[in-house]
């Protein structure tokens, strides 16, 4: 399925490009995502989502397959698998940046394929969820990364703000991130899913709360999730009775 989103940030396109292509730097602003290590041009971590008492955790990797700095177009390929083996998610995310007055307008096209629990919600629900999560991400960027004179750091979620919700955390050093990915990506030689032989470098970040799909998707998610939640509650009750 394809999801289309758009947002505007109040910085020139050169600055926006530097920030948004620095995966390690903006990771603290990504809802439910924890960057764990970087190996060459591959970023590895987990994404947590939940629906009521049901939580899923996807472990995977992302890497740029295209970085066109002149055209301000970046393509990121991400692949993840449910750690319990109950589904997977793959996405190709294309971001295009254009000047918009004194700021930058960013168009994001996501080609998403999911299986397992999350797939039951369908395109309409996932579109609503992605729009809300993108709004949270942009809000965090504007309050931490893009603020004038800010001093953000790589992967520095704090104990007081593990989710990087806008109160702390952020990103810097876009040039260093670009240095590790620019050459293969711009040359067009990188292929999605290619493994890297580089020694993994751990990234230390605070644990985050899972993305709550009921909260993010509202009534639409609740309607789809109620049968599953009811079954889960009954199952938990039966287990407790049997153990008792």
Asked if residues 15 and 27 have their Cβ atoms less than 8 Å apart, the reply is no
The C-alpha atoms of residue 233 and residue 239 are separated, in whole angstroms, by 10
Q: How many CB atoms lie within 10 A of CB 194?
A: 14
Q: Using alpha carbons, select from 164, 185, 235, 156 the residue that is nearest to residue 75.
A: 185
Cβ-based neighbours of 112, under 8 Å, separated by 6 or more: 1, 2, 3, 89, 90, 91, 126
Return the percent helix, strand and coil in the chain, to nearest 5: 35, 30, 30
Task: State the 10-residue block means of pLDDT for the chain, 244 residues long.
Answer: 91 93 91 92 91 82 96 95 86 96 94 80 78 88 68 41 36 33 37 58 85 66 49 55 59
- pLDDT for the residue 87: 84
Q: What is the pLDDT of residue 159?
A: 34
Per-residue pLDDT tens digits for 83-114? 888 788 899 999 999 999 999 999 999 998 88
E strand or H helix at 183:
helix 174-187
Q: Which CATH superfamily is domain 2-189+196-243 in?
A: START domain (3.30.530.20)
| Residue 83 confidence (pLDDT) | 87
Q: What is the pLDDT of residue 229?
A: 46
Q: What residue spans define the domains of the chain? A: 2-189+196-243
pLDDT score of 197:
58
pTM to 2 decimal places: 0.69
The DSSP line for 187-225 is HT---TT----SPPEE------PPEEHHHHHTHHHHHHH
């Amino acid at each position: 399925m394809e999801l289309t989103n758009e947002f505007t940030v109040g910085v020139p396109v050169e600055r926006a490009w530097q920030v948004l292509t620095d995966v390690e730097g903006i990771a603290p602003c990504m809802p439910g995502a924890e960057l764990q290590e970087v190996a060459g041009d591959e970023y590895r971590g987990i994404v947590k989502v939940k629906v009521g008492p049901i939580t899923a955790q996807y472990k995977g990797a992302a890497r740029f397959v295209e970085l066109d700095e002149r055209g301000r177009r970046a393509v990121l390929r991400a692949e993840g698998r449910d750690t319990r083996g109950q589904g997977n998610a793959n996405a190709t995310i294309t971001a295009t940046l254009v000047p918009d007055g004194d700021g930058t307008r960013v168009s994001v096209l996501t080609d998403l394929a999911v299986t397992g629990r999350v797939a039951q919600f369908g395109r309409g629900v996932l579109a609503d969820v992605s729009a809300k999560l993108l709004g949270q991400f942009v809000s965090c960027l504007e309050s931490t990364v893009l603020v004038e004179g800010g001093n953000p750091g790589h992967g520095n979620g704090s104990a007081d703000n593990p989710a990087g919700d806008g109160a702390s955390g952020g990103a810097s050093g876009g040039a260093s991130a670009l240095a590790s990915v620019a050459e293969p990506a711009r040359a067009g030689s990188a292929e999605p899913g290619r493994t890297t032989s580089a020694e993994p470098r751990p990234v230390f970040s605070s644990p985050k709360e899972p993305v709550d799909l009921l909260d993010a998707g509202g009534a639409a998610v609740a309607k789809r999730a109620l049968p599953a939640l009811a079954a889960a509650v009954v199952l938990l009750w039966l287990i407790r009775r049997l153990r008792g």
